[in-house]
Structure 1
Amino acid sequence: MNVHAPALADAHLPDEQTSVFAKDAVEDLSQHPKRLSPKYFYDAAGSELFEAITRLPEYYPTRTELGILKECGSAIAAIIPAGAALVEFGAGATTKVRRLLEKSALGAYVPVDISGDFIRGQADALRRDFPRLAVYPVAADFTAPFELPAAIAALPKVGFFPGSTIGNFEPHEACRFLRSARDILGDGALMIVGVDLEKDERVLYHAYNDAAGVTARFNLNVLVRINRELGGNFDLSAFTHRAIYNRERHRIEMHLIAKKSQTVRLLGTSFSFRAGETIHTENSYKYSVERFAALARGAGWKVKETWTDPARMFSVHAMVAVD
C-alpha cells in the first residue's frame, strides 16, 4: 500500500456517521490482509439485497429460523413477560419479529438499526399492522452502546437478535456484544438469539455462493458505498466475490478478490492491490449448541431454552442475564 494522504479532517466529510465510515475504511484497507467491516454492507441498497438473499433457494438460515419461530412461537412467547419491551438489535426487515408479535403481549417494540431510513419505514409498517403496539425506532450502530428510549424505562426488557448475525462477530467480539447488550437491557433481562449450526460444508458453500449472484452483488455493494459516499474510485469489474469455509475456525469467510494489479484512491490515500489479493469482508461462524452456550456464559448470560429445526440446521436460544 502506498499512502499519500491529507488527514481525514481535511476531507470535508458531511456528517459524523460518514466520518466514522471513512475512518474505518481507510484503517481497514491499510491492514495486511485488507478488510472491510460487514456493518457497512447495510445502506438502503445493501439492506434490500440482503432481503433478496434471504429468499434464495440456497440460503437456508432465514426460512429455517422462521420455521422455528412459527413452530415454537408459543413456547418462546411464554417466557416473555407481559408488557415487556422487545429490543431488536440490527432489526432490518421485521419479518421475524412479527412471528413474536403475533404470539406475545408486548408493551413496546424498539428496532435498532444503522440504516435509519430503512428502519423508520419498517416501523411505520408495523404501526399500521399492530396499531396498539408502541414502536420506537432507534437509528444506531447496535454493536456500540446506545440509549434506549425513555418511554420504555419502566418496562421489562427482552433483547432479540435473530438471523445468526452473532456469527458475523469474532468469538471475542460476540462476547463483547453480548456483554454490551446485557448492560443496555439491564439486570434480569431476557435475550432471544438465532444461531446457525455446523453442517455439511456443501450446504454452506452454496448458501454463500448462490447461482443467481445476489450474494456477490451484496458483497460488492460495500465498494459501491465507498465510491458514492467517500469518493473512492473502485472499479467493480476488477473484483470478484468468493466465499469459502474455514474448517479449523468453523466459519464461512467472504472475500472480494482483485482480478488484476491495480491502485485505488480513497480520500487522498492510495491502496495498491496485487492480482489475487483479497479484501476480507465478513465471517459467519457456525456453532454447536454447546459451544454457543459456553460463549454466552462467558458474557453474563445463561441459556434457559434452546429450540432447533428437525434437521438441526439452526437454533434459537432464550437466555437470561446473570451476575
Structure 2
Amino acid sequence: MITDIPPMSLPSRLISLDDILPDTFRSRDITDEMHRRFFVDLPDEERHQIEWRHGCIVGKPGCGKSETFRTRAEIAVGKYGRSNVNLIYTDDLRTALTMIDDAPVQYCIVDDASKCLSSRMVYEQAELLGVFNRLRHHFRDFIKSESGVFLCEFGWQRWNDLDPGFRDGTSLIFKTNMSSESERRSIQDFVGQRYMGVLDDIWDSMDRGVQTVKSYSVGRIGPKPISRGGVGIYHLPMTDWDGFPAMVKSDDAPKQEAAVDPLERIRGDPAWSLALECYERSVGGERQQDIASALGISQAKVSRMVSRVREIVGSAGGE
C-alpha cells in the first residue's frame, strides 16, 4: 500500500553546524550575564551584607588585559556612582590592603599579580592568602554602613604562575590560550574543549595583528557548570575612559615608619576613626551596648572594631 510522504520543511540556506549541534555546544555571548553576576547591586542597609566578587583576567602581553580592567572600572563607576567607588589599581595585594577606605564599593585590581602572588611562593604567602580569604569580613570594619560591595580582580600572563588560591575566581576571563600542554590542560578544565578552539582562534588573530579581536575573550562563570552555559564569549569593546587611576606599584607605595605607639599610625586615618572611637570608649569603661547606642551602630560592629584595634596594640606588645 502506497501512502503519501509528508512534505519536508527545508531551510532556504545551507545547513551549518549551528543547525546540527545542540545549543549547549554553540558559541554563546555571556557578557551581560557575567556583568550582572560580578557587578551586583549594592545591598540595602537593612540586609547587613557584604557582597564579595573575585575575578581573574589572564593572557599574554599585549592582549588587552589593562584595557579590559579600564573598561570594567568604567562599568562599575557607571553603575554605583563615582563617589561610591574606591578604585584601587596596583601590582601588589599588600599595597591594595593599605588603600581600602570607607566607600561602600571597593574595586581592587591587582595587575601583573604573579610577581607578588606566585605559585612558586606557596609557603611565603600562606598568611597573605588567609588575609585575602577573610577580606570581606575585614571590610566591615572600614565602611560607615553595614552593607557594601567588594570587587577584587587579578590580572597576569601565564595561567599556572599565580597561586591557585588567588585564581579560583567566580569570574574568569581568558584573553589568550597558552602554549604548554600542562597549562592548556588546566585551562580546558575551566572552558571545555569547544572553547579551547575559540581561544586559540582569538590568540592566532592577535598574533596576526588583528587589533579588534582584543575586545573578545572566553569567559567562564565559575559557579555555573559548562553544560548549563557557564562558558562563552565575553565581548567588551575597549574605551579610552580617563577616570582610571594610575597604578600604585609596590615599590612606590609610601612606607610608614615604625611608631612607639601603634595607634598614632592610624589615628589620622579617617577609615579608622570609628574603630578608634569604639576602642577608646571601651577602654574608658563604657559597655559595648552603650557604645553602640551612642554611635548608632550595631553591638556586633562595636565588638569587631574594638577587636581590630586590639590586634594592632597587641602586635606591638601593648595591652
Per the normalisation by structure 1, the TM-score is 0.26
Decide which structure has greater helix share. 2
Decide which structure has greater strand share. 1
